[in-house]
Structure 1
Amino acid sequence: MSRIPSPAPRCLRTAAFSVAMGRAQGLTRGTMRHPQYRQPHRGVRAWNAAPSRPQFPEVEAMAKALDYLPRLRVGEAFSHTTALLLLGVPIQASPALHVVTAVTNGQARNAHVTGHRTRRPFRIVRTPAGLPCVQPIEALLQAALMLPFRELVVALDHLSLPGTRHARISVSTSREAVAAELRHARHPRIARMRAAHEVSRVGAESRMESLMHFELARMGLDELELQAEVFSTDGEWIGRFDAAHRERMKLLEYDGEQHRTDRDQYLRDAHRLELARRAGHEILRLHREDFRQDALPRTRIRMQEFLGLVPKPIPARLAAHFAEAYSPLPPLVPDKAIAEPGGRVELR
């Protein structure tokens, strides 16, 4: 049985570290081979046993990125879906790691990481945890080959929000800036990205709100006001609601987990809903389960019937994208696997 090693130095207990750093702190190679130290990557160690598997992809991506950070070289950054998850974009995507570097450098080579090289210049931004990422719109362009149409819309909704969460790392992406980037970008699926931008809306403040207006859009009914301010008949402010049809006085509201786990929030929302009903509004409350794939046909019918609207035809170019909205795309081929004769490599 292996002898239990002395505790790791305090400075090495909270994050993964390189073997060289461990040696500099007095750890021997034998000590760092003990089961008390995880080995997430070659040349990297982390104190304590492997953590339990995180429940959410963004949490797992964060854990994987922190483990890989000691191996990250100057000029490299987390990219593609990894960057989107680390920057708080609420997509459903694999937490597998993607790392990009400039074309003049060698791409990352690791069994647990997909490395990429690019000719496009990119600026590195850091998350609050200090993880270097490409900017959100660059990450989305990189990930366009990996994400279903629905996830592109969710991401664009998020990036178009004023003061969205990634603003805390000094990144600003207005809807106009995104549109300008898409107009000039050269990309294998740029038409698909532009279609997603056309469907996206300013005002969807959560993933579920994005899915709500996405399902309305596929019926040609995405005409509701998002984040609608509602007032009483006396002009007193009642509150904001996820979506509103002003003329018909119909409100759509997503009932999230916080409404059940936070008692104060629950009571505030109950009061707000009651005031809206007194003011003559009808309310349809939707839940996470309503947006499972098997429940979507029923959810669309419920929203349509509640609003009293008849579905409208949508352009054929959009209908084709909505048809593949839930079909996962094939995995992105690593750059090193698409070298052409003569040594030229197709770079994204």
Structure 2
Amino acid sequence: MRAVPLPAELPEAFSVEAAKKLGVSRRRLRAADLSSPYYGVRTRSDPPDDTLEASVRRRSTHFAARMRKCEFFCLVAAAVAWGAPLPSSVFLVRDASNRSIERPLDVGVLLPSRASRARGVRGISLTEGLGSVRTEPASGLRVTSPATTWAMMGALLRRDDLIALGDAFVREPMRADDPPALATITELRAALEAGRRRGAAALREALPLVRTRSRSRKETETRLILLAAGLPEPLLNWPIAVRGEVVALIDLAYPERKVGIEYEGEQHLTDPRQWARDIRRYEMLADLGWRIVRVTASDLARHREQLATRVRAALSGGVGTG
């Protein structure tokens, strides 16, 4: 027998209470075409086979259908909601049988409210002042602010990952269609100093290295590799102007030496149009006297010393800039 259609007002994920108010029967809410990811929540489809980040977004949307007004997402769930870069390791935890499973959603409350104990959720209680909460505009989810999220992630991330996260939150607009920064370095510092934080030592090490002009996690990683090798700190997304018009932004640059470092993502190698644009761009930069060191994921993962050597050679006017 075909299931009775649900009211059009109900979204993909909805609370049982909301459905009942629209006249949906208990029997219909138990039908096989509906899933129950959390107690008191129904969703119209089975969970898809998606990425770790997409899974967090999906589960957050589902749980939001039953959240209390005092609750909000924090830690990994909040960072994902803000679109921040995270290492894959933070998305997984070990269960009682030592199997790797997805991290439960981190759902916070401010004391004296009681933390949630729902299946698939890790409840967290925060003292007043340690948790600034906002509504993320794209998803409509209640989450910790970017600055609070960064400070809380000190409990899970190492220094370099905290720098990359901070870079993402304070990134300033560099092109006309870029969104405004989600936070300022001053706000990150205030969140760190608001009270006792887990991972405070790593946060304090990371904060002085957070920059406002890094456009990606890979750019941040490249910068930190160069600094660790004893090279001067490069400037980020350095504008190249011709007759007063900006024609390019170089990922990392030493303008006084006219040496630039460009990270080549996979799309640069697999998209023929992007590849053609890259060729024209590098020819233009060469005509302007720039040497470009091109960096790949393999360089960052397995050839860090060689990368530093190539940049050092370019700065000294030698070879090795391929």
When the two structures are superposed, what TM-score results if normalisation uses the length of structure 1? 0.77
Deviations 1:203-225 (A, max 9, x none): 11111111111222222325111
Partner of 2:48: 52
Deviations 1:289-328 (A, max 9, x none): 4333xx2xx1332233333389xxxxxxxxxxxxxxxxxx
Select which of 18, 22, 27 maps to 2:19. Answer: 22
Partner of 1:67: 62
* Matched residue count: 297
Change (3 A) 1:74 1:285: same
Distance 1:129 1:275 in 2: 41
> What's the CA shift for 1:115?
0.4
Distance 2:276 2:194 in 1: 48
Select which of 226, 230, 242 maps to 2:251. Answer: 242
Partner of 2:299: 290
Which secondary structure state, in structure 2, belongs to the residue aligned with residue 304 of structure 1?
A: helix
Do residues 76 (structure 1) and 74 (structure 2) align?
A: no
> What's the CA shift for 1:44?
0.6
Q: Which amino acid aligns with 1:7?
A: P
The percent of aligned pairs where both chains have the same amino acid is: 24
Q: Which amino acid aligns with 1:88?
A: G
Partner of 1:7: 5
Distance 2:29 2:260 in 1: 59
Change (3 A) 1:183 1:25: closer
Distance 1:221 1:176 in 2: 27
> What's the CA shift for 1:228?
1.0
- What is the correspondence of 1:138-157 to structure 2 with a 5 Å cutoff? 138-157=148-167
Partner of 1:125: 134
Residues 237 and 250, structure 2, Cα contact 8 Å, conserved in 1: yes
Distance 1:210 1:135 in 2: 22
Change (3 A) 1:123 1:171: farther
Distance 2:165 2:117 in 1: 28
Select which of 255, 258, 261 maps to 1:252. Answer: 261
Q: Which amino acid aligns with 2:79?
A: L
Change (3 A) 1:20 1:116: same
Which secondary structure state, in structure 2, belongs to the residue aligned with residue 10 of structure 1?
A: coil
Deviations 1:16-56 (A, max 9, x none): 111122222232222222221011001110112x132212x
Partner of 2:306: 301
Residues 148 and 191, structure 2, Cα contact 8 Å, conserved in 1: no
**Unmatched segments (≥5 aa) in structure 1:** 311-348
Which secondary structure state, in structure 2, belongs to the residue aligned with residue 140 of structure 1?
A: helix
> What's the CA shift for 1:180?
4.2
Change (3 A) 1:70 1:43: same
Distance 1:73 1:184 in 2: 25
Change (3 A) 1:37 1:180: closer
Q: Which amino acid aligns with 2:311?
A: F
Which secondary structure state, in structure 1, belongs to the residue aligned with residue 256 of structure 2?
A: coil
> What's the CA shift for 1:79?
0.6
Partner of 1:217: 227
Partner of 2:98: none
- What is the correspondence of 1:198-217 to structure 2 with a 5 Å cutoff? 198-217=208-227
When the two structures are superposed, what TM-score results if normalisation uses the length of structure 2? 0.83
Residues 237 and 249, structure 2, Cα contact 8 Å, conserved in 1: yes
- What is the correspondence of 1:99-110 to structure 2 with a 5 Å cutoff? 99-110=107-118
Residues 158 and 205, structure 1, Cα contact 8 Å, conserved in 2: yes
Residues 152 and 198, structure 2, Cα contact 8 Å, conserved in 1: no
Change (3 A) 1:154 1:172: closer
Deviations 1:188-246 (A, max 9, x none): 432210101123222111111111112222223251111112356x8775411101122
> What's the CA shift for 1:114?
0.4
Q: Which amino acid aligns with 1:303?
A: A
Q: Which amino acid aligns with 1:243?
A: L
Distance 2:68 2:194 in 1: 30
Distance 1:231 1:303 in 2: 27
Q: Which amino acid aligns with 2:306?
A: I
Change (3 A) 1:107 1:237: closer
> What's the CA shift for 1:171?
7.4
Residues 182 and 190, structure 1, Cα contact 8 Å, conserved in 2: yes
